[in-house]
Amino acid sequence: MIKGNAAPNIDDEPIFAAELTPYRSLGYRGFKILLMIAGIMSLMHIVVFLVIGAWPIVFFFGLDLILLFGAFWLNYHAARAREEISVSRTDVSVRKFAPSGRMIEHRFNTFWARFSIKRHQEIGIVSMKISGGGRQTDIGSFLNRDDRETFAAAFARALATARSR
């Protein structure tokens, strides 16, 4: 067995690398504050309804709080999805990570890969796809409009640069 460092292959060095993650406007700290405020307001209403004798309504306030927590939990769970995209002289790699942690990797030859964008006149970029070799995959489907525009321009430049080297 021979040990040693192999010379790095210049063709495999990434020209472009990006990690795409969904945007969430409310962070964990904000979520805790929101949940605390909702809990305090529910508690105040619970006390009022208990004092006037309408105790069956108390359970609905607890249900509202549980549903609010569940909706945000699902939202933050879905936010764990991400995509890692890299372009080198010989390879375009798309690694998609599901919220569960499962990863699917798609590889395309740089010279045969096609980057296609669908635009809507008023909205802007609606979808982005990479295709080649009879396969295709969507990328950046969870990005907002501005991030799609920025990513599409940078990725198209990187693909053109990789082909011209």
| E strands in the chain | 16-20, 82-87, 92-97, 103-108, 114-120, 124-132, 135-139
Residue 5 confidence (pLDDT): 41
Query: Which residues is 16 bridged to in the sheet?
Result: 87
Residue 10 confidence (pLDDT): 57
Q: Cα dihedral sign for 126, 130, 136, 141?
A: negative
First and final CA of the chain: distance in angstroms? 35
Cα 124 to chain centroid distance, Å, stands at 19
Residue 28 confidence (pLDDT): 86
Q: Write the pLDDT tens digit of every residue in 34-78.
A: 999 999 999 999 999 999 998 888 888 888 889 999 999 998 898
Largest separation between any pair of C-alpha atoms in the chain: 83
Q: How confident is the model at residue 150 (pLDDT cuts 50, 70, 90)?
A: very high
Residue 11 confidence (pLDDT): 56
Q: How confident is the model at residue 17 (pLDDT cuts 50, 70, 90)?
A: very high
